[in-house]
Amino acid sequence: MTGPLTLVTGASSGIGAEIARQLSSSRRLLLGGRSAERLEAVRSSCERPESHRTWRWDLSDVPGIAASLEEALAGEVVDAFIHSAGTLELTAFRTMPTERMIGIFNVNYFSAVEIVRLLSRAALNQRALRNVILISSGASRVGEKGNAIYAASKGALNAFMRSLAIELAPRVRVNSILPGMVRTPMSEIALSRADAEAVIAANYPLGRGEPRDIAWLAEFLLSEKARWITGQEVVVDGGYTAHANHVS
């Protein structure tokens, strides 16, 4: 299979891995993540694994992204970028070290800004970029104790998306997906309390989501069926934000 690449960050687990598997039958993928072993496992689980490549990089190192990504591309181009990388720590912001706050913003927000900046350059990507999807979070819309820094990083991602959609139109479409509670390794952090499942059942009319619920929407937003959709925050949360009386 020939053609441009679709770059998926955070592809070594959770939503990113599921997006990769969902797209693997129709697109050539560049799978980004920190662990070469886990990336290779995801690549091997994709359809046509020989068509896909991996990019090992820790996105907390934002200044190093440019050189590493250029090496990974090896002269090829990217027509779609899905930023699924993310890091979460549930703790009161007043006790969180500044270095950890910066680390969360680097992975969740600044790395996405840097990658889009690079892919928008003709010298690196030959003006091939056509689609950007930023995996944000429903936490950017609702308040929650211990989640201020993560929520702020995702809110910054949404604000960036809206301005970027205008700046890059009409050549590039840019949207955010805001998942609710989805069954992933990262969500297990939020499920450590004993009554977590009862709280989810009370707050999510359709229950907890699965990574495939986000992957299906990502696939749609990349398609021509979404040709008139840009600058949007698309919420996929099983009815959580429609609920009037949340249980805490």
Looking up residue 99, the CATH number of its domain turns out to be: 3.40.50.720
User: The pTM is what?
Assistant: 0.94
Segments forming the whole domain that contains residue 56 = 5-182+210-236
For residue 162, name the pLDDT band (cuts at 50, 70, 90).
very high
User: What residues are annotated to the active site?
Assistant: 150
Is 164's pLDDT higher than 70? yes
For residue 146, name the pLDDT band (cuts at 50, 70, 90).
confident
Q: How far is residue 243's CA from residue 186's CA, in Å, rounded to a whole number?
A: 24
In a domain, 91, yes or no: yes
Question: What is the predicted pLDDT for the residue at 200?
Answer: 79
From residue 24, alpha-carbon distances to 40, 46, 243 in Å are 14, 6, 35
Question: What is the predicted pLDDT for the residue at 189?
Answer: 61
In a domain, 31, yes or no: yes
Q: Tell me phi and psi for residue 79, to 5 degrees.
A: -105, -10
In a domain, 170, yes or no: yes
Place of tokens 């840009």: 230
When divided into structural domains, the chain yields a total of 1
Which amino acid would we find at residue 194? A
Question: What is the predicted pLDDT for the residue at 201?
Answer: 79
Q: What angle do CA 1, 70, 60 make, to 5 degrees?
A: 110
Question: What is the predicted pLDDT for the residue at 83?
Answer: 98
Q: Among residues 41, 86, 78, which one has the least CA distance to residue 59?
A: 86
Which amino acid would we find at residue 52? H
Is 244's pLDDT higher than 70? no
Question: What is the predicted pLDDT for the residue at 242?
Answer: 85
Is 92's pLDDT higher than 80? no
In a domain, 20, yes or no: yes
Mean of the per-residue pLDDT values of the chain:
93
